[in-house]
A = this chain, B = another copy of it.
Amino acid sequence: MKKRANLRDVAQRAGVSVATVSRVMNTPARVSPDTRNRVEAAMSDLRFTPSAAARAINTGRTQTVAALLPTLANSTFARFADGLEARLGAFGLSLVVATTGEDPEVELARARQMLNIGAEAIIVTGASQSADFRAFVERHMVPTVSVSLFQQDAWLPTIGYDNQKAVLLALDHLMQLGHHKIAVVHGPHGHNDRTRIRLEALKQAEVAANGALTFRYFEAPFSVQGGSEAAARLLAQRGDETAVLAFTDVLAGGVIHRLHSLGLKVPQDFSVVGMEDLPSSASLYPPLTTVHLPVRRMGEQAAEALAQWLDNGIRPDHQELPIELAARSSSVARQT
Contacts of A116 in B (CB 8 A): 50, 52, 55, 63
CB pair A78–B85 under 8 Å, yes or no, is: no
A89, A254, A283: most-surrounded residue (chain B CB, <10 A): A283
CB pair B283–A285 under 8 Å, yes or no, is: no
With A94-B114, A139-B47 in contact, do A72 and B64 touch (Cβ < 8 Å)? no
CB pair A254–B283 under 8 Å, yes or no, is: yes
CB nearest to A227 among chain B residues = B283
CB pair A94–B98 under 8 Å, yes or no, is: yes
Contacts of A225 in B (CB 8 A): 279, 283
CB pair A253–B224 under 8 Å, yes or no, is: no
- CA distance in complex: A225, B281 (Å): 11
CB distance from A131 to the nearest CB of B (A): 16
With A82-B99, A283-B228 in contact, do A94 and B117 touch (Cβ < 8 Å)? yes
A→B interface (CB under 8 Å): 44, 47, 49-57, 62-64, 71-75, 77-79, 81-83, 85-86, 89, 92, 94-99, 110, 113-118, 139-142, 223-225, 228, 250, 253-254, 256-257, 260, 279-280, 282-285, 296
Give 9 A-B contacts (CB < 8 Å), ordered by A residue: A49-B115, A52-B117, A53-B53, A53-B55, A64-B96, A73-B75, A85-B97, A96-B97, A257-B284
